[in-house]
Each structure stands twice: as C-alpha cells, then as structure tokens.
Structure 1
C-alpha cells in the first residue's frame, strides 16, 4: 500500500566514499529487517535499531509471540527523493511499499525532515510497516478509514534518550489540516475509500482516519465500545451493516464528538518502558559490489515492471552483470529479468551459469525450475516433468525459507493434474505464511482452500484484498470471488447465501 504523501524528502545523510562518484552500498541486518543504504555511517545502525524497536512495540501491543514468523522486510534507502519518485512513477511521494515474489520491500530516500510539519522517512516507513504488520498478523475485513487510521496512528513514534518508546502522538504533517481547516466528514469517511481524492481531501481523509482511530484508542466513554462493535461485526461478516445504527446520534453524532475531540488542548499518548524491550543483534556490513551496482535495476524489476519496460531493464542488468562475470548474484538476477521478459533460453543459460558459480543460488535454481516447468507443460514428457521437479526440489533445498520454490511445488502438481498431495498444499501454505502480503500467494491459497471444500475459510482469506482502501481491478476480482465463495459455502451448509459487506464505493 502506498502512503498518500505530497511532502518530499530532502537529502540528509548520504556519505560518499572518498574518490568515488557515488557511495558504496551497505546493509544492516536484524531479526526482522535488512536495511540497504547508499553509504554507511552510525545512522544506518540506528535506523535499523529503531525499526526493530518499532516491530517490538507492535508485537508487544498486539500479543504476537512468534518473533520469527514471516520473511524479513527489505528496506532500501536511496540517495535522494527523485530516485524514489522515478521508481514509483509518482512525483508526489517520498516512499513506497511493495512486494516481490520473495519479500516485502520498502523504498525511501535517505533524508531527514526539513521541518516539524514535514513527513520524514521513518514516519513513511512506520506507516507502511503498520500495514504490513496488520496484513501479516491479523488480516480481516476492516473499513478503509481504519486500515489507514491504524497506519497513521503508528506512523509517529518517538525514542527518548531514556530508552522508552512513545506512540500515539498526532502526526504533525496532518495537524494544520485538522486544526486550521476541518476534519473530513465522518459520514464520508465511512462511505468511501481513498480512490479519487484530491490532494487536499486526501490529507483530510488520512488525518481524520488518524483522529478517529486515536479517539477509538483513548476514549473512555461509550464511543470506544460503539466503534469496537462496528469493527468486530464488519470483520465477522455480519450482513447489511448500517453504520448509523451503531452510534448514539448516528454518524452525525460521532462526527460532532470527533470534531470536539481534536479541539482538546492536549491529546493522550503512551510510552513503553525500556525494561520491556528485547532487541537482537544488528550486523552492519558492506554489500557485495555486484549486488550494490544492481540495486536500482533490481528494484525496477521487482516493482511490477510493465511489459514494455522489461527489455530496457534486461539490457541494463546485462550490462552491469558483464562487469561482474564471477557474480552468481548478477547472473541469477539477469536470468530472472530474462524470464520476466520471456527470453526463456537466455534465462535458462544464465540460471545455469549462476548455479555453476554458486550451487546454493536459490534464485538461479528457481528460474531454472520455472523454465523447465513450462517446458514440461508444453511437451508433457515424463522426463521433462522429472527434470522440472528435480529443479524445484533443489531450489527449495538451497533456501528452505524462499517462498518461490514452495509455490512452484504446488504449481507443479496443479499443472500435472490428479489429486493434489498434502505436501503440495503444505508448500503453498508455507509460501503464503512467509509472505501473506503478496496477492499472488493469497489468491492461490484461497483457490487451494476452496478446492478442498472449505469455502467459508477461503472467503475470509480474501477479506484483506476485498476490503483494501485502494481501488483496483484486483480488489474488484476479490469482491466477485468472495461472493461466489459465500454462495458455495451457503449451498454446502444448506443455508441461503447472505449478502455481505462489499468494499466501500468511491
């Protein structure tokens, strides 16, 4: 999900190495993140440490007890905001979040806030990671305002020198709109998503989403219980929900209370004490030169590159890879780009080259498996199917936490036909649990769950996409699929299908 930000990040802490045209790439590895940065100084370690503290805060507040669940998030800190905007194809943002088929990826500029009413890199990242965390650990059918309000609520986190973590403060970037203009009307907030909003209304929408979420967190009266009942019923799929009926005085009454709430002289916030924190080791080290030289082209490839962009990306990666002939990383990335561009022979040749350079190149093995699997499907020869399965197994052995070979194992059995073995379901389930933010894995797991006859669970699994605050063809497809699954679930149970609560209309 992309944060609505018109505020641009300035260059803040880039550090070029002596005698070079640009800074070398460094990485800070922690339990839940790998942070890549153009240049290394003490701030890189501090940035990674604050990310881990933020993750700890969310886990502590929402009682997430498995610290290892899921793939690490990759965070890229580019040298300036122009690079971020070019990658995103949007001149009005300071950072974005996406998923590849291997990892969740956040891209930001190495910048510090130029003023207290600006939105800095950490606030953008905390907003996006809050989305990531919600989708991973408690996905459900949430209204658009709460999805964005939750992320805004956790976008502002302070780390005082006493080691505590403060959260719940107002995002100062939203303050001028909330205090000097007016909140977005609550009735409109409940009725729509973020699509098609003007810049001004977008700022009001996000600010009011934060305000209502803050009100929900800190209100001591009946409003907290009313909002909780509404959110719970929506998540449970209660049919024909009418928001007005949940609130004393309807949504107009809630709107009045929210407008009074923002006028308070001071709003509450909380702090987590340092004694409760457990942050693991953070290792800072230089990135392999070949990988560093390929970062921006790799991001172009993984950020949903369009078909007409792929030839140029392949050419750029091939030119860089030629400078590092002994790099398995470069060869595997080139093979992946060639596969995306449907140059299958070249993809297979470079995948084989990557494996020859590094027998544990999971990426090389995965590309090889993809090529051989398609070849087997086209030929339907026993020896080709065997070669494809061998390649998939080798890719999984090279990295058992890579979701790509796990998903390929399920796909192999689906393409061959016949009864799906339990191992096939298990592989897809693990790929999904490693990266549930990836829509492809979610849709595939939904289909697999429905194929086993559990239509109700399959429908619930679609909720995060069907109720996304951002309109898209994918969301519309999820809404249609959810309706079909609900009908099948009702038919199986002998009940009449109940109309659900579709995503808010723009």
Structure 2
C-alpha cells in the first residue's frame, strides 16, 4: 500500500489508500469546463460567465475580466495577510479551494431560496442581511455574494427618536424632521468580510464567539490595496457614527454575554447588531491600547469560550460592565487607528481565467442551491435543465449528486453511468456510482448485499485512483461501511480524517468520523474531532447530532 503522511487536530496519521488508488491521477476537468457533445461535434457557444482560479480560491462571475482578476488577486492578498497575522506567516495550504460565486443581483438570496443551515451571521437588521451565502460543505466550502452595494437605511425609529428629542428640546416640531439619506456599504467589503471569516474558521483551531467572527470579518472588510502594493486594514468603515445613531450604540454587556442573540422586540432592544458594531468591538479588543488588566480579561474570556463555557458566564470575567461600557463609549467617539502593510506584498501570480460554456453557466445557481435545496420540485426542475444539455458531463454529475442526496439512488446511478460511458475514469462519476451502489446494497436483499457492496467499493477505489485528493470519494469509501452497519476499517477512518484536513470548517465529515469513533469506544478522540462543531458559534444540524453523541454533558 502507498502510505500518505499527514496531520489533523494535532494528531499525525498514516493514511493507507486502496490498492487501486496507488497510481498518478489524470487531470479531472474543472466544473463548467466539461464539453458539450452534439452530433459528434463540440458545442462552441460560450456564456458571459467566467471562472478565475488562483492558489486558494476559485471565483465565478459574469462581470468584467478586469474586475474578476482584481477581486481574485485581492482575495489572495488577504489570504497572505491573514496568514501572517494568524498563522505566523505560514502560507502552506492543503485544504480544498474556496469556491466563490459573484451574482449581479442583490436579490439572489431570496430568488434562490437559500437557507443558511451551517453558518449564521449577525443576526443583522434587513439592511445588512441577505447579501451573502456561505456553506461549509463536506466536499468544499461555497460562498456566494451579490455584486451590488448594500444600501444602509439610516431613517430608523431610533434615529428619529433621538432627533425628535433634540428638536423638542430646542422648541421645534418633530413633524418637520427630514429623514437622513441612506449610506452604502460596498459589495467588495461584504466579500472580503466573508473571506476573512472563512479564513478564521478554516485555518485557525480556536473556537470563537459569533460576535468575534463577525468582528474579524468587519476588520478586514475595509481593506484597501494601494498602487505600491501596501494594504490598509482595520480601517473604520465609512459613516459608522451615522450607523450607530440609526441602530443604537454598542451594548457591550448584551454582546459579550450573548444576550443580543436572543429574540427581542424592537421596543426593548437598546442596540441592533450590525457589522459596524462588530468592527468597533473587535477593534477595541485587538487594536486599541488596552490596559494590561483588560487585556488579561479579554484573553481569559476568549479562553473560556474556547473551552465551551457559556457566554453569559464567561462575560463575568470582565467585572463591572458599566465601566467597560464607558471605555467603549469613549473609544467610539475618538478617532481610531488602522494598520498598513509594507510595500509590494507578494500574493502569487494572476489567476487563470476561462469562459464557461452555456451548459456550465446554466447550472451556476443550481450548484449553489444544492446545499439548501433537494425537494422533489427542485430536483424536477434540475432534471428539466439537464435534459436540455443531455451530453454535458458537469450537468449530469450535478444531477447525480442531487439524486443521491435525495435518496433517488437508481436515478443517481443512471446519471453517473452516462458520464462514465464517455469518460470511464471520471472521479466524481465513479464516486457517485459507488454511493448509489452502496445505498442499493443496504436497501436490497440480504443475499445480494455483499456482492453489491463489493461493486460499490470497486467503483470508489477507482474514484480515489483517479483523484486521490477528492473528499467525495473518501467519504463514499467511509460510508460504504457505516451505511452497511459494518465496523469501519482503520484505513477508511484515516481517509475520513484526511477529509477533515481538506475541509476543516465543514461539520459533516467531523460528525461522520466522530460518530464512528464513539461507536468503536473512543469518545475522547471523537470529542476532540467534533470540538469545533460542539462549541462553535454556528447552529447546524450536525451540531445537534454531535451533542446527542455525548448525552451525559449535553455539550
């Protein structure tokens, strides 16, 4: 067997791959690059959508090439900058590349009915919500952002009440108050914020409160790249004082204790949490000159959160919250500093940009929706789309995935086989064939189970041979045992641990492995692997399932 050495969660493993996976893999086509065969010819029509690939991200957009190149390069610059700040300059990376899709419409979130099941932000008022979607999927994280600036409403009841009190104090009439003009938050700020949060969840091992994740995103959302290559970051967002006036001053006790996360009526809520509030609190704790005692309190608070201490209990570390609130109020009223890097910061080469086929572009939305959809009507619509491009391998693979995840195993197998008929070594098609055959074996007659499982594992082994870096194939291999109620052998367990290293922010692989380790009598290692899921800020279906594995503590 070929042995692959790697580490995850502080532990080093030797991964033994299936024998069939011990040869060099051929190149797999990138999503959207698959050819469309029509009457023996190659479909030449191209779409307006482009695909840019760099060292750490893949970005899809129907905007200009110049914009796509600039934004992709800036994401690489941000990766390098955050690696210096959070990883002591280590820029090595063996995780799956983040896939970013930039939509022209600001209403894409509603139009596509996206449900953020594994990641939450805020909670924010409507002006700040619904412009991005992040899904840490088991085969790689997906981020979607609107290329339209956010229009921030400043004419709120809080703003009116403050102005009315002022006018009445001067003997005026509140009916004569003119509403303030809205301000704007650039879409690139939203993108850089989301990437910074992704970086924090992917490349650091700590567990953070949600306000801190929001805050780190806000700190880097205002990054500015200069012509000499230097980068400003942690800059104050434009019009932040007007935002505080409209949505309330930062309520430090509510945030640090987690009370701001609880449902509340507008009448009783002192502050509506926004990215601007997140910026202020994160800036205060990380970029102000905290006195030594306050700095130690903050360190102790963050340590307690990492250890799973409830926010309300951890917040008591700060002592007198009124004094801390006073410090924040003074800080908010003063000018704040920001950081600037040295000139000519390296970030790698320009991205490779390719134009998607009409078939690839037609499935952009469906690929994003796959993480939150899957009902019968949606799959029926996807089948209709794929029927219009029946020879597009990428379309068939998307359909195979949707069918398998919806439990339509025979339809999944049929779609995978259609791809394999033209490309026998397609790794994704082989993996979905293995998944479908595994499900067929489990649901079928007991007499046929062993033979069908053997066929499933042969297909999966070929998938790993074709692409040994594919999380999909390694997950399929692992689940060919768990679904059948069999003990997972050590090589497959180590394969799943390898998946976790590739997609560390995804909760599903951690749950798969953790559940099996509990079943095999190793709950402590299971808890270690599930730690980010159990104690992280996001409420996901996997978090509830992980908590159920440890009923004694519930956490």
Give the conservation status (yes or no) of the 8 Å contact 2:257–2:315.
no
Equivalent position SS for 1:204: coil
TM-score when scaled to structure 1? 0.82
Match of 1:495 in 2: none
Contact kept in structure 1, 2:59 and 2:102, CA below 8 Å: yes
- The CA distance in 2 between the partners of 1:287 and 1:244, in whole Å, is 50
Cα separation, partners in 2 of 1:34 and 1:471, compared to 1, 3 Å: closer
Could you tell me which residue of structure 1 aligns to residue 139 of structure 2? 102
2:317 to 246, 263, 282: 246
Question: Quick one: distance in 2 between partners of 1:82 and 1:99?
Answer: 22
* 1:74 aligned residue (99, 104, 127): 99
- What is residue 349 of structure 2 aligned with on the other side? 280
**284-293 or 356-365: bigger deviation:** 356-365
Give the Å deviation of 1:440: 1.1
In terms of mean alpha carbon deviation, does 213-222 or 475-484 score higher? 475-484
After alignment, is 379-388 or 113-122 more displaced? 113-122
Specify the SS of the correspondent of 1:225: helix
One of 503, 512, 536 as aligned partner of 1:444: 512
- Cα distance in 2, alignment partners of residues 155 and 479 from structure 1: 33
Q: Say which is worse superposed, 275-284 or 291-300, in terms of deviation.
A: 275-284
Counterpart position of 2:261: 194
In 2: Cα distance, 1:40 partner to 1:255 partner: 46
Could you tell me how far apart the structure 1 residues matched to 2:53 and 2:504 are?
A: 22
Give the number of aligned pairs: 461
1:28–1:284 contact (8 Å) kept in structure 2? yes
Distance 1:290 1:212, change over 3 A: same
CA distance in 2, matches of 1:355, 1:60: 44
**More helix per residue:** 1
Give the aligned partner of residue 453 of structure 2.
Answer: 385
Q: Distance in 1 between matches of 2:551 and 2:252?
A: 28
Q: Name whichever of 215-224 and 174-183 sits farther off.
A: 174-183
CA gap 1:341/1:120 in 2 versus in 1, 3 angstroms: same
Q: Secondary structure at the match of 1:411?
A: helix
Match of 1:219 in 2: 288
1:299 aligns with 2:378: no
- Which residue is 1:183 aligned to? 249
CA distance in 1, matches of 2:211, 2:458: 47
Rounded Cα–Cα distance in structure 1 between residues aligned with 2:272 and 2:284: 18
Rounded Cα–Cα distance in structure 1 between residues aligned with 2:245 and 2:198: 29
1:335 to 400, 411, 414: 400
The separation in 1 between residues aligned to 2:63 and 2:303, in whole angstroms, is 46
Structure 1 counterpart SS, 2:184? coil
- For residue 34 of structure 1, give the secondary structure of its aligned residue in structure 2: strand
Q: Is 291-300 or 463-472 further displaced after alignment?
A: 463-472
Aligned with residue 377 of structure 2, among 302, 307, 312: 312
Contact 2:46–2:355, Cα closer than 8 Å, also in 1: no
Q: Distance in 2 between matches of 1:315 and 1:306?
A: 10
8 A Cα contact 1:145 1:209, kept in partner: yes
- Give, in whole Å, the separation in 2 of the partners of 1:111 and 1:392: 42
- Cα distance in 2 for partners of 1:239, 1:47 equals 38
Query: In 2 relative to 1, CA 197–363 (structure 1 residues): closer, same or farther, beyond 3 Å?
Result: farther
Do the aligned partners of 1:328 and 1:355 also contact (CA within 8 Å) in 2? no
Distance 1:53 1:251, change over 3 A: same
* Unaligned residue ranges in structure 2 (runs of 5+): 1-44, 116-125, 153-181
**Counterpart Cα distance in 1 of 2:224 and 2:468:** 37
Per chain length, whose mean CA-contact separation is higher, i.e. which structure has more relative contact order (CA < 8 Å, sep 6+)?
Answer: 2
1:241-277 CA distances to partner (integer Å, 9 max, x unpaired)? 8445533x5222212111111111x201101123442
Cα distance in 2 between the residues matched to 1:420 and 1:339 = 21
Q: 2:80 aligns with which of 56, 61, 77?
A: 56
Q: Matches of 2:415 and 2:491 in 1, distance apart?
A: 30
Conserved in 1, the CA contact under 8 Å of 2:46 and 2:356? no
Aligned to 1:135: 201
CA separation in 2, counterparts of 1:164 and 1:286? 31
Q: 1:196 to 1:89 in 2, by over 3 A?
A: farther
Mark the CA change 1:456 to 1:471 in structure 2 (over 3 Å): closer, same or farther.
same
Query: Match of 2:61?
Result: 37
1:372 pairs, out of 437, 450, 462, with 437
1:23/1:39 contact within 8 Å kept:
no
Tell me the distance in 2 between the aligned counterparts of 1:406 and 1:23. 33
Q: Does 372-381 or 87-96 show the bigger shift?
A: 87-96
Deviation at residue 27 of structure 1 after TM alignment: 0.7
CA 1:195 to 1:434, structure 2 compared with 1: closer, same or farther past 3 Å? farther
Measure how far apart 1:405 and its partner are. Answer: 1.1
Preserved contact between residue 119 and residue 173 of structure 1 (Cα < 8 Å): no
Cα 1:285–1:205 shift into 2, 3 Å = closer
Bigger radius of gyration among the two:
2
Q: Distance in 2 between matches of 1:320 and 1:471?
A: 33
Deviations 1:184-223 (A, max 9, x none): 3211112226353668877435433322211111232222
Distance 1:196 1:287 in 2: 44
2:120 aligns with: none
Aligned to 1:262: 332
Shift of 1:232: 2.0
Distance 2:46 2:271 in 1: 36
Contact 1:148 1:469 in 2 (8 A): no
CA displacement, residues 130-149 of structure 1 (integer Å, 9 cap, x when unaligned): 22222212233322322322
Distance 1:467 1:369 in 2: 33
Give me the whole-angstrom Cα distance separating, in 2, the residues matched to 1:117 and 1:465: 37
Structure 1 residues 260 and 453, CA gap change in structure 2 (3 angstroms):
farther
